[in-house]
């Protein structure tokens, strides 16, 4: 049984943005209140984690150059809110808390205007340092000192993001002209305030103020309560380094993930990719996003392969603290069939189709199988529409049941579906196999069942959040990459857990029955890192 509590705490934040911030938090406890012995078992098998989605107080003009004193005054207003959230979390027994990218200093700086906001960052690999207890050891470390003291005060591991600087010399071929490196940096403090490690963001997203490290940081830190954690930032989640390489260490079961993610539906909303990453790699992901709804920035969560606690709110301007009990050894979502699956006619049909059912007659878009599916008996028209700035090839999903295929380049996507009732909405099955080149360059293979924005084909791929259409389906494709992320989103920005996700006969597949609400997106999002 789960018990869910929601409480609203007045933060007393500055009115820099003419907003009175209120931090809301959710506590999710998988413990029976009437069975204290179960709680002991859960404490042994779980840890308490928190992520804070922060409505940051921003400088009115990020291009203007201010003094270090002025920069610290602004950053301390954000740090005051952080400290309040740490103390709330401490009351709930939290052992690790994650804060978002850009939460302390803000964003949209130039290289020069961000400089007063930067702390000096010694390498934790070379220097063992407790900023709270040794505040005068290094200059320009006021933010690190406050974060270190928060970790001590809350008696918890603390992960935060800040801008840092590191002097360099002219004999360094990568040294910028101003003789310093500037990094977008995550820091990890232990519960005694020691600086455990730091990660410098590798895949920058239009961040002219910061440098890319010469070498990729692959940071894994150890904790006494849950073992090894990996760490990376925002846009990193879409690339091989450092995200995928980190998880080659089989002992890494948890990832902390500060982010400042702008949502882009239908395939890359923040909570969508966070949950998909947790499922794909069978890990826990503690994701803290910044909260600026006017910029489309919201969506944080504590995600495991089988369950997620998340926050997505485009209406409220308040910060949000999410607290959940997390399994130390997360159970993965299996892709193998069970006895129940074998008895299910739709899954049997799926397996028959994969095996090349001789009674199936295939054409360019649609497959008709004797005794298999009825409806969609006429060939569905193929059309093209822009989705995520990419030119998808699609076919409409008509009728109460059917079996569709759509191909582009070498990728073919298949959908076997049944709908309990028809809604007055247009859905389409789309495929893309190519290089994405807008807001980043990376190679994507995607099979996507999406609700269109209207009834016209040209509305397929538009950003929508509400839907009523229910589906039971198998979605699969002949992907040429093993890195597939399952996306499953329903009406009202609700995350769903697939019934199955895995591989069968060299095809990646996603299966779901019993949606809780109308389907917005069901997709297999593949990345071919070697073709970026």
> Which residue numbers are catalytic?
101, 201, 234
Q: Residue 398, SS3?
A: coil
> Is there a cis peptide before residue 322, judged by omega within 30 degrees of 0?
no
Q: Which segments within 388-441 are labelled E, that is strand?
A: 390-397, 401-408, 411-418, 427-436
Handedness of CA 103, 106, 112, 113 (dihedral sign): negative
Sign of CA dihedral 464, 468, 470, 471: negative
Are 230 and 247 in contact, with CB atoms under 8 Å apart?
yes
Task: Supply angle C-alpha 414, 415, 420, rounded to 5.
Answer: 175
CB 97 within 8 A of CB 323: no
Query: Read out DSSP for 290-317?
Result: B-BGGGTB--EEEE-SS-EEEE--SS--
> What pairs with residue 180 in β-bridges?
167
Provide the token pair at 95. 């052992």
Return the SS3 of 340. Answer: helix
* Positive/negative CA dihedral, 164, 165, 171, 176: positive
| CA distance readout (Å), 180 to 127, 169, 195, 242 | 19, 8, 22, 23
Q: How far is Cα 75 from Cα 142, in angstroms, rounded to an integer?
A: 10
Contact predicate 254/96, CB 8 Å? no
Q: Cα angle at 284 between 522 and 308, to 5 degrees?
A: 50
Token digits of residue 221:
């830190």
What is the sign, positive or negative, of the torsion defined by CA atoms of 264, 270, 271, 276?
positive
Residue 532 CB coordination number (10 Å): 15
| Kind of pairing between the strands at 119-120 and 157-167 | parallel
162 three-class SS: strand
């Amino acid at each position: 049984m789960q018990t869910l509590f929601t409480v609203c705490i007045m933060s007393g934040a500055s009115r820099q943005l003419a907003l009175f911030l209120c931090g809301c938090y959710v506590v999710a406890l998988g413990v029976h209140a009437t069975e204290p012995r179960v709680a002991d078992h859960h404490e042994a098998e779980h840890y308490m984690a928190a992520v804070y989605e922060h409505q940051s107080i921003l400088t009115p003009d990020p291009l203007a150059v201010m003094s270090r004193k002025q920069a610290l005054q602004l950053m301390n207003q954000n740090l005051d809110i952080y400290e309040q959230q740490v103390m709330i979390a401490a009351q709930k027994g939290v052992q690790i808390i994650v804060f978002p990218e850009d939460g302390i200093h803000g964003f949209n700086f130039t290289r020069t205007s961000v400089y007063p906001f930067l702390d000096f960052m010694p390498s934790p690999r070379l220097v063992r340092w407790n900023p709270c207890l040794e505040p005068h050891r290094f200059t320009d470390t006021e933010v690190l000192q406050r974060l270190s003291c928060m970790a001590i005060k809350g008696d918890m591991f603390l992960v935060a993001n800040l801008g840092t600087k590191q002097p360099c010399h002219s004999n360094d071929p990568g040294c910028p002209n101003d003789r310093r490196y500037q990094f977008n940096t995550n820091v990890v403090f232990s519960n005694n305030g020691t600086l455990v490690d730091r990660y410098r963001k590798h895949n920058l997203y239009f961040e002219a103020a910061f440098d890319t490290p010469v070498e990729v940081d692959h940071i894994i830190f150890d904790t006494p309560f849950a073992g090894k954690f990996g760490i990376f930032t925002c846009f990193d989640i879409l690339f091989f380094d450092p995200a995928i390489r980190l998880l080659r260490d089989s002992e890494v079961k948890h990832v902390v993930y500060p982010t400042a993610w702008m949502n882009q539906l239908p395939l890359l909303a923040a909570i969508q990719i966070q949950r998909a990453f947790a499922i794909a790699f069978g890990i826990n992901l503690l994701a803290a996003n910044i909260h600026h709804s006017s910029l489309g920035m919201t969506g944080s969560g504590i995600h495991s392969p089988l369950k997620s606690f998340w926050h997505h709110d485009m209406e409220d301007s308040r910060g949000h603290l999410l607290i959940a009990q997390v399994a130390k050894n997360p159970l993965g979502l299996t892709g193998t069939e069970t006895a129940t699956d074998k008895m299910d006619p739709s899954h049997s049909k799926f397996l028959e189709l994969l095996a090349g059912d001789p009674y199936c007659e295939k054409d360019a878009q649609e497959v008709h199988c004797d005794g298999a599916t009825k409806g969609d008996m006429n060939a569905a028209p193929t059309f093209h529409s822009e989705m995520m700035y990419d030119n998808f090839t699609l076919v409409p999903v008509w009728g109460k049941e059917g079996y569709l295929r759509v191909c582009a380049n070498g990728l073919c996507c298949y959908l076997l579906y049944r709908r309990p009732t028809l809604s007055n909405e247009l859905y389409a099955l789309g495929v893309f196999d190519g290089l994405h080149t807008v807001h980043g360059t990376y190679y994507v293979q995607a099979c996507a069942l999406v609700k269109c924005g209207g009834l016209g084909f040209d509305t397929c791929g538009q950003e929508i959040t509400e839907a009523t259409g229910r589906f039971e389906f198998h979605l699969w494709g002949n992907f040429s990459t093993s890195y597939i992320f399952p996306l499953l989103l329903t009406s009202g920005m609700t995350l769903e857990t697939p019934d199955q996700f895995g591989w069968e006969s060299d095809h990646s597949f996603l299966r779901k029955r019993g949606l809780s609400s109308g389907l917005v997106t069901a997709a297999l999002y593949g990345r071919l890192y070697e073709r970026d």
